[in-house]
């Protein structure tokens, strides 16, 4: 009888132990979905071996996640898009070899990087800050590969043009900053915004779960089924930063930033790779042809059934293309050295 009671008690204790995390998860999902999202990113960084670090320079602090150490392959610096953060790249990092040295930095003012003033939020301002970061962490001890998506692609391209000796190769993913010949759904939104003198809501700055869902539809060709609670959590995470996002948005669509990449294309000397989703509704895929016309030696990879959020929609393919390009360029440099 005593043994039976012990077994019953054991089951009660085991059940209680299991129930606590389950109840905590359910409570977080229903009451604090934003906390659940933060835990999700923390878990995946830990699983993928990425460590969050900080770099201070003259009172300015950069937040970044990194994995690995500089080695035979070039280090990879990854620049995210507008209103995103370093964890945007987790889906791609998952498919990159663990021995590669990878650095994912929060762009100026985003997430854990210092928020200052609008001078730092223009494309040229972001380039200056990213160069400050590169020098602070000594990433430019030897030429590195830079990857940028959307706004980050604009910054990456201008960076390569301004600091050619630091860059061995570049990958631009659906980069902003190009006068693309064909209009997109987002271009139509931009016209409405301009006509309203920017009094209408900006589609890339959602304030409700419904607007968040609309943003996903705009940015992604693949239709992700996201629970309402998670959409609310995403809104809750972003809401305190919306005024900042508005400031950044106004800077990057301003006269000096909107076509910054195109104006600097002719100065890019490093081998260039362009990856673009054919169904991009934010920055039209015709921009790839514009880049190829100025830089005919660039490699262009267009992805079927993929929109603007290439990193989210096709992470495995994106990682494979980036790695192939880096290895190809390294082989070409090695061959050139032997020939000389």
| Average confidence (pLDDT) over 268-286 | 98
3-state secondary structure (DSSP) of residue 76: strand
Structure tokens at 100: 């590669």
Confidence of residue 317 (pLDDT cuts 50, 70, 90): very high
Q: What's the pTM value of the predicted model, to 2 decimals?
A: 0.89
pLDDT for position 9: 44
Lowest mean pLDDT segment, chosen from 24-28, 138-142, 296-300: 24-28
pLDDT for position 25: 39
Structure tokens at 223: 């239709």
Q: What is the mean pLDDT of the chain?
A: 89
pLDDT for position 33: 67
- List pLDDT tens digits, range 29-38: 444 567 788 8
Per the DSSP assignment, residues forming a β-bridge with 9 are: none
- List pLDDT tens digits, range 79-137: 999 999 999 999 999 999 999 999 999 999 999 999 999 999 999 999 999 999 999 99
Task: Name which of 119, 120, 99 is nearest 110 in CA terms.
Answer: 120
Active site residues: 150, 280, 308
HEC-encoded secondary structure of 92-133 = HHCCCCCCCCEEEECCCCCCCCCCCCHHHCCHHHHHHHHHHH
Angstrom distance (rounded) from CA 165 to CA 227:
47
């Amino acid at each position: 009888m005593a043994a039976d009671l012990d077994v019953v008690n054991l089951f009660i204790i085991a059940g209680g132990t299991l129930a606590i995390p389950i109840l905590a998860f359910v409570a977080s999902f229903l009451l604090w979905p934003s906390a659940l999202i933060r835990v999700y990113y923390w878990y995946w960084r830990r699983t993928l071996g990425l460590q969050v670090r900080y770099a201070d320079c003259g009172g300015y602090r950069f937040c970044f996640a990194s994995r690995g150490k500089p080695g035979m392959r070039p280090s990879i610096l990854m620049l995210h898009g507008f209103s995103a953060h370093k964890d945007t790249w987790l889906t791609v990092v998952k498919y990159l070899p663990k021995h590669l040295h990878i650095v994912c930095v929060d762009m100026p003012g985003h997430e854990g990087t210092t928020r200052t003033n609008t001078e730092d939020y223009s494309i040229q301002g972001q380039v200056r800050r990213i160069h400050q970061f590169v020098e602070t962490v000594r990433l430019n001890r030897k030429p590195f590969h830079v990857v940028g998506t959307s706004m980050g692609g604009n910054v990456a391209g201008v960076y390569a043009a301004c600091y050619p000796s630091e860059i061995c190769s570049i990958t631009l993913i659906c980069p902003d900053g190009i006068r693309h010949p064909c209009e997109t759904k987002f271009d139509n939104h931009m016209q409405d915004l301009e006509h309203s003198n920017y009094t209408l809501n900006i589609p890339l700055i959602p304030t409700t779960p419904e607007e968040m869902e609309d943003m996903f539809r705009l940015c992604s060709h693949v239709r992700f089924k996201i629970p309402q609670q998670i959409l609310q959590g995403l809104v809750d995470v972003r809401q305190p930063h919306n005024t900042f996002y508005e400031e950044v948005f106004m800077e990057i669509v301003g006269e000096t930033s909107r076509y910054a990449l195109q104006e600097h294309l002719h100065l890019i000397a490093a081998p260039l790779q362009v990856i673009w989703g054919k169904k991009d509704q934010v920055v039209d895929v015709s921009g790839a042809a514009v880049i190829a016309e100025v830089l005919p030696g660039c490699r262009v990879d267009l992805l079927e059934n993929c929109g603007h959020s290439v990193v989210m929609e096709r992470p495995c393919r994106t990682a494979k293309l980036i790695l192939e390009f880096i290895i190809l360029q390294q082989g070409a440099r090695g061959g050139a050295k032997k020939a000389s």
